[in-house]
A and B are shown apart, each in its own frame.
Chain A
Amino acid sequence: MTRMSLLADDVAGKRFLAILAILCVVVPVANLLVPSDSALHLSTYTVTLLGKYLCYALLAIAADLVWGYLGILSLGHGAFFSLGGYAMGMYLMRQIGDRGVYGNPDLPDFMVFLNWSELPWFWSGFDQFWFAMLMVVLVPGVLAYIFGFLAFRSRVTGVYLSIMTQALTYALMLAFFRNEMGFGGNNGLTDFKDLLGFSLQSDATRVGLFMASALALALGYVLCRYIVQSRLGLVAVAVRDAESRTRFIGYRVEHAKLWIFTFSAVLAGIAGALYVPQVGIINPNEFSPLNSIELIVWVAVGGRATLIGAVVGAVAVNYGKTVLTAALPEVWLFVLGALFVIVTVYFPQGLVGLKSMMMRARA
């Protein structure tokens, strides 16, 4: 399969990549070059918000890859997202240096507060950017690999697997809430100053992070599209639709599941790593089962097994959340709950499927 043919039939994908490219030009110009009193100026708040949506979209793509194409409903993808975020957060913590409240050059503030005298071993290396980035990929990847290895080998499937992934993220949430864990307890990691020497407060850094998120999303999309169209992707769909039959034909079902699950976890981790510097905090609430399940609804709303639907769903639902939680905070959970019910009962194909449903109705 050549590179050209990868997106040949994927009209929506091409449009999506084009939109991302346009955003990468328009957003920096509108934020940095257009004077702030102009009507065309884009505030830094909006840039960060858009960047956040892009991270969510990447996370949603990762979830769609395992749910839509592999048939594994992971209720723990928030855990991989958060672990990537924590790895990034630890790097950012180390970059604070002696500018913290206690001015300790070696220890983050919360450790000084807990009267710790030295850095725990698992924090070593996080002052190096490359090491932190390696961990962003490795920690979620290895966890997913081990979890998947055990689960897929013993053929835990369906709802059991979903509940176990939920238990996984729940256990991690409880663990990260503990101060003794050395990840800042329930306050998490925050008060970040700069990233690679660029101040996180400056507009240019924010725009840079936005562009990095857009790039990661574009790359993530292309990679997922590649996987989906490869032999591995075809096996994955076969596993989703008839696992036993695929196994009997002679495919190593566990291998296909394991690699796609692990890759998806890595994508989620990268999304988390890009998310944390933009929102400026990572705390154990990100592990909460609700977050992981909310991300499933993004995919469901957008339409599963389309990749592009995950992006649409993530942006649409989160935009709705931003608007509603500001205007009518009481109503948001009603809307989210109703979305779950309505989408699953009436629109199993999601927004993307709605279009084809309407086209079919017209024809």
Chain B
Amino acid sequence: MSVLRKGRAGIYAALLHIALMLLFSPVHSALMPDEDIAVLKEGSYGDKSDLVISLPERPGAVSLLPVLQVMLDGDLYLSADEKLLSVTDAPADQYLIIDIDAGTESVVAEKGALKRVRINNSVRRILRRTIAQLQLRSDDVGVRLAAVKQIIDKVDTDSVAIIREYFPAEQDADVRDAMALVLAVGDLRSGDPALAEAAIETLSTSLEPVALNTLQDFSEDTDSTLLARQAEKAIEAIQGRVRVYENLETLYFGLSSGSVLVLAGIGLAITFGVMGVINMAHGELIMLGAYTTYVIQQLMPELIGISIIIAIPAAFLVSGLAGIIMERLVIRHLYGNPLETLLATFGISLILQQTVRTIFSPLNKSVITPDWMSGLLEVNSVLALTWNRLYIIVFCLIVFLALVFVMKKTPLGLQVRAVSQNRNMARAMGVRSQWVDALTFGLGSGIAGVAGVALSLITNVGPNLGQAYIIDSFMVVVFGGVGNLLGTLFAGMSLGVMNKVLEPSVGAVLAKILILVFIILFIQKRPQGLFPQRGRAAEG
């Protein structure tokens, strides 16, 4: 089958070639005159270097940028009729060929007929320089900024010279700042004491590694103690700021892993905190949510981007229904017997685990992260925030606020609180307490399912997913103070941050152990958690 397909694609490619040849022959390339093509084809490395150096002088040279990029990557080829092609690997041992002139793409199995444009290190160096020059001439601010940023990663005398050439004409403030940094590096490296002071000043405001390295080299090499002191001061300033950003990053990681804890625990804050039901199957309700996400992605493979959004209400319904069934069949018989509830729900958790294992196999499934959730938000060269963690934090806050809204502002929330405070009185006022019990438990379980959607994106979806989170969830709820949603949020976030702060020095596992021990000791000291309930609710 695949051989057939390959053969057919080959024939099409050949037909295309013939068609193109008939159309455009004998004009070879609109981008480069024939003599340049000849240099690329047969010239020595020296010839090629001379050609590339001369390019920026030509009018309209900016249009050559794509060719030069491809050439720098080593992917530039010439077809038999001397067209410029970009040839890269395609799946299944084939090659993707892009005609740079026409922009047409084709896939072939053979590239023997194409001639590769060979380059060596000195050509590569000149190519980089020419590309930078051309980019700096671009009308697009983004392209210019990117070019300077690329230079910042590898400052050398060549690049400083180029920047010095384009600096006076540059209008955009961001690009100018970046350029000034490169120039300052160049000034400081030149060792000219007259330029040094201003250069140190400029570098001290930067976070780029090159600034720090240049300052360090300078403070070691310079003869002037005054300048050396200034450089050291600048180094301290930079390091101080780097530390601030590193701490910010730790805080960010902590908040995001705290958000996961909050998501896992917040459903339990309803079922355990408000209703007093020890639901050991809570983790399995999270697992059901995660599997729902997986199933939805399997059902709509073309719509991965939306599938996550659809999975949220779906998981809420699946886990919520499972919770209501649990409540009606088992838990309602055990109200008032917390230890028995614990055992029965644990039994349910085993059954749910084994059910999932039987249906989906014991192997882990993976949920595909949609494109819009991957990638980085680069704040500066030290601090980069991953989007998926940011989404989880935001998602956690949304779920939290929605839950607070339901509990405080809706009739259901009012009834839930009434029943949990005084069941008999609430019934006397006409609240259908059994119905409220079932709905509350369903709400808590549904939230667990929603947490499962978020968890499915950061861990593997497997039958043991729930077990991994059940102890954490209880810790968060107990630590925050049972029956207190805000306490759960605070506890989850602070445990997450604590974990990430400890992790670098003691390792992930020991950090987790230390936190468990901390909570065990904390509960001894304050059995009611961080935010104990006050007033009548505390006595109930």
19 cross-chain CB contacts under 8 A: A150-B521, A154-B525, A158-B339, A159-B342, A160-B478, A163-B475, A163-B478, A164-B523, A166-B474, A167-B471, A174-B512, A177-B509, A289-B467, A296-B343, A334-B350, A334-B351, A337-B351, A340-B350, A344-B347
CB neighbors of A among B321-352 (8 A)? 330, 333-334, 338-344, 346-351
* CB <8 Å contact, B339 and A340: no
The answer, among A177, A178, A333, A348, for a CB contact under 8 Å with B340, is A348
Type the 1/0 row for B508-520, where 1 means its CB is closer than 8 Å to any CB of A.
0110110011011
Q: Helix, strand, loop or mixed for chain A's interface?
A: helix
Interface string of B11-23 (1 = CB under 8 A from A): 0000000000000
B524 located at the interface, meaning its Cβ lies under 8 Å from any Cβ of chain A in the complex: yes
Q: Is B351's CB under 8 angstroms from A159's CB?
A: no
Q: How far is the CB of B488 from chain A (nearest CB, A)?
A: 15
Q: Are A345's CB and B512's CB within 8 A?
A: no
**Separation in Å of the A53 CB from the closest CB of chain B?**
21
Return the CB mask of A330-363 against B: 1 if under 8 Å, else 0: 1001101111110111001000000000000000
- By a CB distance below 8 angstroms, the chain A residues around B467 are 289-290
B59 to chain A, nearest CB (A): 67
* A171 close to chain B: CB less than 8 A: yes
B517 touches A171 (CB 8 A): yes
Q: Is the CB of B520 within 8 A of A164?
A: yes
Return the chain B residue nearest A155 by Cβ: B527
Q: Are A334 and B523 in contact (CB under 8 A)?
A: no
A293 on the B face (CB < 8 A): yes
* CB contact between A340 and one of B278, B338, B347, B521 (< 8 Å): that residue: B347
Closest 3 pairs between A and B when the two form their complex, measured CB to CB: A340-B347, A337-B350, A337-B351
- The interface of chain B, by Cβ under 8 A from chain A, is 278, 330, 333-334, 338-344, 346-351, 353-355, 357-358, 467, 471, 474-475, 478, 509-510, 512-513, 516-517, 519-521, 523-525, 527
Distance between A261 CB and nearest chain B CB, rounded to angstroms: 15
Task: From known contacts A155-B527, A158-B338, A344-B344, infer whether A333 and B516 are also in contact, taking CB-CB under 8 Å.
Answer: no
Provide the A113-148 mask, 1 if CB < 8 A to any CB of B, else 0: 000000000000000000000000000000000010
Given the complex of chains A and B, what is the CA–CA distance between A181 and B334 in angstroms? 42
- Is the CB–CB distance between A330 and B354 below 8 Å? yes
Q: Does A300 contact B (CB under 8 A)?
A: yes
B513 to A336, Cβ gap below 8 A?
A: no
Contact assessment for B509 and A178 in the assembled complex, using a CB-CB cutoff below 8 Å: yes
| B516 close to A337 (CB less than 8 A) | no
Q: Report B482 CB to chain A, min CB distance, Å.
A: 9
B516 contacts which chain A residues (CB < 8 A)? 167-168, 170-171, 174
A338 contact set on B, CB distance < 8 A: 347, 351
Q: Are B346 and A154 in contact (CB under 8 A)?
A: no
Question: Which residues of A come within 8 Å of B, CB atoms?
Answer: 73, 147, 150-151, 153-156, 158-160, 162-164, 166-168, 170-171, 174-175, 177-178, 289-290, 293, 296-297, 300, 330, 333-334, 336-341, 343-345, 348
Given known A166-B471, A167-B475, A171-B517, contact A334–B343 (CB-CB < 8 A): no
Asked if residues A154 and B527 are in contact (CB atoms below 8 Å), the reply is: yes
Q: What's the Cα separation between A340 and B516 when bound, in Å?
A: 27
Q: Which chain A residue shows the least CB distance to B521? A: A150
Q: Are B354 and A337 in contact (CB under 8 A)?
A: yes
Given the interface contacts A174-B509, A333-B353, does A340 sit within 8 Å of B343 by beta carbon? yes
Of B343, B351, B355, the most chain A CB neighbours within 10 A belong to B343
In the complex, the answer to whether A167 meets B351 with C-beta atoms within 8 Å is no
Once the chains are docked, how many angstroms separate the CA of A160 from the CA of B273? Answer: 12
* Distance in angstroms between the alpha carbons of A341 and B333 in the assembled complex: 11
B350 pairs with A156, CB closer than 8 A: no
A168 touches B347 (CB 8 A): no
Contact indicator A156/B523 (Cβ below 8 Å):
yes
A151 x B351 contact (CB < 8 A): no
Residue of A nearest to B277 (CB): A159
Residues on B with beta carbons closer than 8 Å to the beta carbon of A73? 339, 342
Among B340, B342, B346, B519, point to the contact of A167 (Cβ < 8 A). Answer: B519
Q: Which of B346, B351, B474, B513 contacts A174 (CB 8 A)?
A: B513
Distance from B399 Cβ to chain A, minimum over Cβ atoms (Å): 23
Q: Report yes or no: B524 in contact with A334, Cβ–Cβ below 8 A.
A: no
Q: How far is the CB of B478 from chain A (nearest CB, A)?
A: 6
Which residue of B338, B347, B349, B525 has the most chain A CB atoms within 10 A of its CB atom? B347
Provide the bound-state CA to CA distance between A159 and B338, in Å.
7
Q: In the complex, what distance in Å separates the CA atom of A103 from the CA atom of B433? A: 70
Residues on the A chain within 8 Å of B471, using CB: 163, 166-167, 170, 289
- Quote the shortest CB–CB distance from B187 to chain A (angstroms): 50
Cα-based distance from A333 to B356 in the complex (angstroms): 12
Whole-angstrom CA separation of A338 from B329 in the bound complex: 13
Q: Which residues of A contact B340 (CB under 8 A)?
A: 344-345, 348
Q: Is the CB of A345 within 8 A of B527?
A: no
* Contact between B349 and A337, CB atoms less than 8 A apart: yes
Instruction: Name B514's closest neighbour in chain A (CB-CB).
Output: A171
Q: Which residues of A contact B355 (CB under 8 A)?
A: 334
Contact B344 A345 (CB under 8 A): yes
Using Cβ atoms and an 8 Å threshold, which residues of chain B touch A337?
347-351, 354
Q: Are A339 and B347 in contact (CB under 8 A)?
A: yes
Complex Cα distance, B56 from A84, in Å, reads 79
Residues of the B chain whose Cβ atoms lie less than 8 Å from the Cβ of A330: 354, 357-358
Q: Which residues of B contact A150 (CB under 8 A)?
A: 521, 524
Minimal beta-carbon separation of B270 from chain A (angstroms) = 16
CB-based contact A345/B354 at 8 Å: no
Other A-B contacts than A150-B521, A160-B523, A344-B340, 13 sampled, CB-CB below 8 A, are A151-B524, A156-B524, A163-B471, A163-B474, A166-B474, A167-B519, A178-B509, A293-B346, A333-B350, A333-B354, A338-B347, A339-B347, A345-B330
Q: Which residues of A contact B339 (CB under 8 A)?
A: 73, 158-159, 162
Q: In the complex, A160 Cα to B520 Cα: how many Å? A: 10
Q: Are B513 and A334 in contact (CB under 8 A)?
A: no
The smallest beta-carbon distance between A291 and chain B, in angstroms, is: 12
Q: A171-B517, A334-B351, A340-B350 are in contact. Are A156 and B474 (CB under 8 A)?
A: no
Roughly how many angstroms separate A155 CA and B333 CA in the complex, as a whole number? 28
A338 to B344, CA, bound (A): 8
Per the bound structure, the CA–CA distance linking A175 and B524 in Å amounts to 21
> What separation, in Å, do the CA atoms of A336 and B343 have in the docked complex?
11
A341 contacts B509, C-beta separation under 8 Å: no
CB distance B347 to A156 under 8 Å? Answer: no
**Which residue of chain A has its CB nearest to the CB of B525?**
A154
Which chain B residues lie closer than 8 Å to A289 at the CB level? 467, 471
